Structure 1
């Protein structure tokens, strides 16, 4: 587009892509201003049990999209909750935010409460802080606490920083417990709190911006050619050098 003379900055047509631009203010394409991308939005959703975290199901089972209130923007889920798992499911308009929140490397904790049938001690649960391997799958550190006993059942709170498929259920079943109910109560600093089942509430933009500043940088999944430098930090200022013409020949001494 630049070679075709379609891009201008402050009314001046750009002739080279090697131009420093600190914002999109004043940038036009075909005379029309280039709009900055809309800010990411994040929503808290209380997913009821019995809904799939999917857009559609070949078997015809209900999904979260069948039950979400009308009038919402196009949303994608951050991670998944199993069919029979209930509680907090974050939804976002932004794919990069979704990835940031999902990756274990960014260190966002997920908190669950599980009601399980069977007997277990706090000492056994504390061993999970070192991680555990089950059938060849390694699960990372889990902070687990025995909340209370109710007859033959126990209530356990578990906090983990990864979201492997059915992780909480598999770990508890490996410890001899049968999970009867599983609720996600928090994702990072965002709690389920008193959000009613099926309800959706948007996270304040200020809270989202503050939270994103605390996130660890997510690694770039694209392979980098050998010998090239890593990409700059999102907060760094990028300066693109202007192309240089051929150097004049050196003068010979008489």
Structure 2
């Protein structure tokens, strides 16, 4: 049962009110879905009275919230980079019993952290986790067009025409899938590595884009988000972000040129 690391006595800010589950999530205590489960189970009280409605309006800065009798204030903000290995699900729990990134972090003595965006089970590389939901939303918001760079091993040798088609994009299941950049990194006898940059992220974006051109993905590794690079962090390991790294990702990126 998570407890507050830094109780807050801040007054309600400008009377702004949100559902109780959202308030718990924004304070960095747990995910919104987890908060809803706690509330429906009768574990959350407001001023000593159990609340069963996750949408019960409360002020973001309101005190008197407890979980299992323990007061909940603003949690210390934590920002983590994790080098996700292939085969882990980015989820707090998996209905099929598969291993998750949280299994890999169980011994890390970290508070609750939510993933900042996703990597599918077969993908690897840079994954951010934080309990600062506002910071996380700023990174994942499609309107920011924040660039994410991937190294992708494909099952064929590409030519310049193929790379151009990846940059032109395709429509798949009603969505436009396009690479902002697509360049050859290196090639072998039968396969090659590409560097692909996205400034938006749709579900299985790169895999679907390549599949539309008959190309299979052998490996997919995210190596950077904005200016933050995975670097030499070993696979399966994590580290805290430095203050300057946190602030660089918080800053709004420069607008990109509109596509015609």
**TM-score of the pair, normalised by structure 2:** 0.66
Alignment of 1:98-137 (within 5 A): 98-137=136-175
* Number of aligned positions between the proteins: 192
Distance 1:8 1:198 in 2: 38
Write out per-residue CA displacement over residues 49-91 of structure 1, whole angstroms, 9 at most, x where no aligned residue.
0100000111111001111142112110011111110111011
Q: More helix per residue: 1 or 2?
A: 2
Larger radius of gyration: 1
Partner of 1:159: 197
Where structure 1 has 5 or more consecutive residues not aligned to the other structure, the ranges are: 1-6, 10-16, 19-27, 31-35, 218-254
RMSD: 2.9
Partner of 2:40: none
Where structure 2 has 5 or more consecutive residues not aligned to the other structure, the ranges are: 1-8, 16-61, 65-72, 256-260
**Cα distance, 1:39 vs structure 2:** 6.5
Partner of 1:48: 85
Change (3 A) 1:140 1:100: farther
Write out per-residue CA displacement over residues 6-56 of structure 1, whole angstroms, 9 at most, x where no aligned residue.
x999xxxxxxx79xxxxxxxxx989xxxxx956643211000001000001
Runs of 4+ in 1 over 6 A off after TM superposition: none
Alignment of 1:41-120 (within 5 A): 41-68=78-105, 69-120=107-158
**TM-score of the pair, normalised by structure 1:** 0.67
Aligned to 2:146, the other structure's residue is in SS state coil
> Structure 1 stretch 65-74 or stretch 186-195: which is displaced more?
65-74
